[in-house]
């Protein structure tokens, strides 16, 4: 089965770090490289040599290695190097050149990935405050796309969490309710009536469902209008 679709990651820009991070982890996991990314991979070590360089020993440093031992060790070293190179290639193919310049001397995949994360997540307190203020002030009018609006709010919430400034779920729920159109408020009131603790994911799920229902209604109205127009045209002809 081809994994090309699974492993496709778009070029990183400053405006979609959260999506990029998620897709990169999924992509490298699909390639069996996630342990290289998080640093949990067991790194093979070359067999030690005696000080005179004439003999190669096993890792117990007392038993002389056979040709089979040496070959197996070289195979492990080569396989690890290939996996590291493949993961680095994947990362470098999707990040800007300015980022590559900053991280290229870090060595391992895990160190490179950590450095990339710090570039995009290690933002100042002022950026965190601005992002939080932006999230809190977001509003969706009756004519706006509610699903796109809530998706943007979720992205900002995730960005704040990645910066080390997570938004409390109850606070986020209040932000969502205050941001959606008035026509959706009765929906949230119904949720409150049926549940003691209202979580953001519940409000978002119900809002998405309501938005889909509204869109279907609009399409139905358009179809009815189009049918009426055609009927009038037929009568006139």
pLDDT tens for each residue of the chain, 237 residues long:
334 444 578 888 766 788 888 889 999 998 899 999 999 999 999 988 887 777 888 888 888 888 899 999 999 999 999 999 999 999 999 999 999 999 999 999 999 999 998 888 777 677 788 889 999 999 998 888 999 999 999 988 988 887 778 899 999 999 998 898 888 767 766 666 666 567 888 889 888 888 887 766 554 444 445 445 554 454 555
* Structure-token pair, residue 64: 């002389």
* Structure-token pair, residue 223: 């179809």
Model confidence, pTM = 0.60
Q: Residue 212: CB partners within 8 Å, gap ≥ 6?
A: 147
Q: What's the Rg (C-alpha) of the chain?
A: 28
* Structure-token pair, residue 172: 């986020």
Q: State how far the Cα of 38 lies from the Cα of 26, in Å rounded to an integer.
A: 12
Is the distance from CB of 204 to CB of 184 less than 8 angstroms? no
CB-count exposure of residue 72 (10 Å: 0-12, 13-18, 19+): middle
Is the distance from CB of 120 to CB of 98 less than 8 angstroms? no
pLDDT score at 237: 52
């Amino acid at each position: 089965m081809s994994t090309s679709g699974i492993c496709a990651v778009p070029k990183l820009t400053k405006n979609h770090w959260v999506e990029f991070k998620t897709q990169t982890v999924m992509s490298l996991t699909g390639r069996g490289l996630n342990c290289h990314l998080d640093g949990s991979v067991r790194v093979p070590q070359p067999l030690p040599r005696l000080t005179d360089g004439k003999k190669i020993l096993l890792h117990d440093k007392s038993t002389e290695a056979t040709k089979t031992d040496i070959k197996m060790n070289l195979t492990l070293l080569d396989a690890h190097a290939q996996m590291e190179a493949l993961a680095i290639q994947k990362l470098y193919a999707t990040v800007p050149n300015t980022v590559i310049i900053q991280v290229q001397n870090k060595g391992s995949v895990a160190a490179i990935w950590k450095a990339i994360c710090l570039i995009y997540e290690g933002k100042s307190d002022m950026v965190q405050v601005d992002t939080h203020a932006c999230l809190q002030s977001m509003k969706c009018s009756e004519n706006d796309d509610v699903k796109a609006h809530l998706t943007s709010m979720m992205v900002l919430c995730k960005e704040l969490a990645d910066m080390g400034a997570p938004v409390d779920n109850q606070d986020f729920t209040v932000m969502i309710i205050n941001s959606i159109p008035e026509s959706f408020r009765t929906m949230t009131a119904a949720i409150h009536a049926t549940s003691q603790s209202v979580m953001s994911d519940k409000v978002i799920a119900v809002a998405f469902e309501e938005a889909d229902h509204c869109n279907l209604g609009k399409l139905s109205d358009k179809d009815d209008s189009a049918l009426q127009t055609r009927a009038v045209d037929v009568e006139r002809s």
